[in-house]
């Protein structure tokens, strides 16, 4: 299996190379050159299998020769052994035709653990084999950072630097990033918003002197391995509701478009997905774009679902690549317009292609609070604000005949203030984290200045 860049000007890579490379050297994102498909019988045969077995069967064609079958199986088993639920991604019913896919039973209580635990193990095996080490720099609006630190802390072949927007993540999210004491993980509180963090990471990748000097690697969803690991739970949940003999739809709380793009891949592989619905909070650039208003950056407005406070949604580039018929030049031009002018218009043909794949909806702050309250009353399920954004859109857009699965992307205990305001219930942290507020914090406040950031990283890489 080969991986190619969305901008068409970078070398083709294997799975392992693409995983260790992160951003393509032409500034684009790697995608599989061809998306493998599964037959109806192969999908039907996933029924009743463990999460680990489904992960193996779904991901194996993407991994190719990079890892042997036995090696890959062992990596998957180690990755998911740390999850706090036997099903890994249990499905619960909200009402007669609306289901919630709980993706928050991993070690940091967010869906990021599904991919991050896996790629932590994959990096470790690949780097050991190569006798190499890397510097991971990541941007987070709260959840990617803690998941990355948890997956990579203490590994001697990796230094991890996580940029998060100072004051714009929840206290639990911040403490998850600032309390690990392992010396190879570093929390950097940046004076800016998530888009500033993400732009800084991309600039570091595009500065080849720095990139090669520190052996830069990325674990944001610019890394295709992250996205592929997220394809698996679309299969486990759809099959448990009757796929491939029955269609299902998904609603996905969306920010950087990685999670919903994993759903697109699942659909291309043959999973009978009827609709993929993008749910945004008040930072609604994706909803506006998918509604035909072009892709134009606005101010990021802090919300009670802070992990989705994003304007430049990095994986949308992958969606555009497919919508423009895999035309790397067209994508490169749009990305240039985004960089120079803050936005672009999508061609009529590409809008039609996007419209065939994605629907969308937007949820206000008040609606998010009201959905937390009403869902608790009607189903007993306590939602985090991101999942509530998804549930409201999923409920509004579901079709009576086709089950709707909404992705619950984080545990309510990561956002206790908003959840308590909405429901009157204070969601407790799981017992293994109950001392989170007593642990001592370690972080560095940094200016939004590329030179300063690069110097800090170079100085703090383990020699
Ligand atoms: C809790 C939560 N929900 C939803 C999202 C949005 O996911 P994506 O960026 O893959 O669209 C994020 C951040 O990525 C998140 O942390
Ligand atoms: N919401 C994310 C933002 C980064 O997304 P990623 O999927 O590209 O890593 C977060 O919580 O950090």
Instruction: Tell me the average pLDDT across 444-448.
Output: 97
**Residue 164, CB-side half-sphere exposure with 13 Å CA sphere:** 30
pLDDT digits (tens, 9 = 90+) for 145-160: 999 999 999 998 999 9
Give which of 141, 136, 139 is closest to 153, Cα–Cα. 136
Q: What is the pTM of this model?
A: 0.98
Catalytic residue numbers? 112
pLDDT digits (tens, 9 = 90+) for 22-62: 999 999 999 999 999 999 999 999 999 999 999 999 999 99
pLDDT digits (tens, 9 = 90+) for 426-444: 999 999 999 999 999 999 9
Q: What is the mean pLDDT of the chain?
A: 97
Does residue 252 contact residue 103 with C-beta atoms inside 8 Å? no
Cα–Cα dist 205/200, whole Å: 9
pLDDT at 258 > cutoff 80? yes
pLDDT of residue 341: 97
Q: Is 43 left (phi over 0), alpha (psi -120 to 50) or beta?
A: alpha
For ligand 2, atom 12, which residue shows the shortest CA distance? 140
pLDDT at 399 > cutoff 90? yes
CA 24 to chain centre: 18
Pocket of ligand 2 (CB under 6 A): 140-145, 220-221, 255-256, 258, 307, 314
* Domains of the chain by start residue, with CATH: 86-105+224-423 (3.40.50.1100)
Task: Report the run of H or E that residue 78 belongs to, with start and end.
Answer: helix 69-81
- Over the Cα atoms of the chain, what is R_g? 20
Helix axes 69-81, 51-63, angle to 10 degrees: 140
Express as a percent the part of the chain with pLDDT over 90: 99
Q: Which atom of ligand 2 is nearest to the CA of 220?
A: 9
ipTM of the complex: 0.99
Look up residue 308 and give its DSSP letter.
G
When pLDDT is cut at 50, 70 and 90, the band that residue 462 belongs to is: confident
Does residue 295 contact residue 344 with C-beta atoms inside 8 Å? yes
- Tokens for 154? 């203490």
Give which of 99, 51, 171 is closest to 381, Cα–Cα. 99
77 C-alpha to ligand 2 centroid (Å): 24
Length of the chain counted residue by residue: 463
DSSP assignment string, 209-249: HHHHHHTEE--STTSHHHHHHHHHHHHHHHHHTTTTSS-EE
Which ligand approaches the C-alpha of residue 411 most closely? 1
Q: Would the CB of 283 count as within 6 Å of ligand 1?
A: no
pLDDT of residue 342: 97
Q: Is 292 left (phi over 0), alpha (psi -120 to 50) or beta?
A: left
pLDDT digits (tens, 9 = 90+) for 322-351: 999 999 999 999 999 999 999 999 999 999
Does residue 295 contact residue 343 with C-beta atoms inside 8 Å? yes
DSSP assignment string, 336-373: HHHHHHSEEPPPHHHHHHHHHHEEEEE--HHHHHHHHH
Write down the H helix ranges in 167-325: 171-178, 194-206, 208-214, 224-240, 258-268, 285-288, 316-323
Q: Which atom of ligand 2 is nearest to the CA of 314?
A: 8
Name residues whose C-beta falls within 8 Å of residue 217's C-beta, 6 or more positions apart in sequence: 20, 21, 22, 123, 134, 135, 136, 158, 223
For ligand 2, atom 1, which residue shows the shortest CA distance? 307
Q: Which atom of ligand 2 is nearest to the CA of 112?
A: 7
pLDDT digits (tens, 9 = 90+) for 205-227: 999 999 999 999 999 999 999 99
For ligand 1, atom 15, which residue shows the shortest CA distance? 307
For ligand 2, atom 9, which residue shows the shortest CA distance? 220
Cα–Cα dist 191/47, whole Å: 48
Q: Which atom of ligand 2 is nearest to the CA of 308?
A: 1
pLDDT of residue 141: 96
256 C-alpha to ligand 1 centroid (Å): 7
When pLDDT is cut at 50, 70 and 90, the band that residue 463 belongs to is: low
Strand pairing partners for 332?
none
């Amino acid at each position: 299996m080969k991986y190619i860049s969305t901008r068409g000007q970078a070398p083709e890579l294997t799975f392992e190379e693409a995983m260790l490379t992160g951003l393509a050297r032409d500034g684009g994102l790697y995608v599989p050159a061809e998306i493998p498909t599964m037959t109806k019988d192969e999908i039907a045969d996933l029924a009743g299998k463990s999460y680990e077995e489904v992960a193996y069967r779904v991901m194996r064609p993407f991994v190719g020769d990079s890892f042997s079958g036995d090696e890959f199986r062992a990596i998957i088993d180690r990755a998911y052994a740390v999850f706090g639920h036997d099903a890994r991604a249990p499905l619960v019913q909200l009402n007669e035709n609306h289901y919630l896919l709980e993706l928050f039973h991993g070690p940091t209580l967010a869906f990021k653990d599904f991919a991050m635990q896996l790629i932590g193990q994959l990096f470790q095996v690949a780097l050991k084999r190569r006798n190499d080490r890397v510097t991971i720099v990541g941007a987070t609006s709260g959840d990617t950072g803690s998941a990355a630190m948890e997956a990579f802390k203490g590994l001697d072949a990796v230094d991890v630097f996580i940029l998060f927007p100072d004051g714009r993540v929840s206290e639990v999210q911040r403490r998850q990033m600032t309390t690990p004491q392992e010396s190879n993980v570093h929390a950097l509180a940046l004076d800016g918003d998530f888009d500033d963090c993400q732009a800084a990471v991309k600039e570091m990748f595009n500065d080849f002197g720095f990139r090669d000097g520190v052996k830069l690697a990325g674990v944001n969803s610019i890394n295709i391995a992250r996205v592929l690991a997220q394809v698996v739970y679309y299969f486990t949940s759809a099959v448990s509701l009757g796929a491939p003999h029955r269609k299902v739809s998904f609603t996905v709380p969306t920010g950087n478009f990685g999670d919903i793009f994993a759903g697109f891949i699942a659909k291309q592989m043959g999973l009978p997905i009827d609709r993929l619905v993008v749910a945004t909070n008040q930072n609604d650039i994706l909803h506006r774009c998918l509604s035909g208003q072009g892709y134009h950056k606005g101010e990021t407005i802090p919300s009670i679902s802070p992990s989705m406070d994003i304007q430049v949604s990095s994986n949308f580039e992958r969606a555009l690549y497919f919508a423009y018929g895999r035309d790397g030049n067209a994508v490169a031009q749009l990305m240039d317009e985004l960089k120079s002018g803050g936005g672009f218009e999508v061609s009529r043909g590409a809008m039609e292609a996007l419209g065939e794949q994605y629907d969308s909806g937007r949820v206000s702050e008040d609606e998010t609070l009201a959905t937390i309250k009403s869902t608790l009353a009607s189903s007993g399920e306590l939602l985090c604000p991101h999942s509530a954004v998804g549930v409201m859109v999923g409920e509004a857009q579901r079709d009576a005949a086709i089950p709707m699965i909404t992705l619950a992307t984080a545990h309510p205990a990561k956002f206790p203030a908003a959840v308590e305001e909405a429901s009157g219930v204070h969601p407790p942290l799981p017992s293994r984290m109950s001392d989170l507020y007593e642990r001592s914090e370690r972080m560095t406040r940094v200016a939004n200045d590329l030179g300063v950031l690069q110097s800090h990283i170079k100085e703090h890489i383990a020699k």
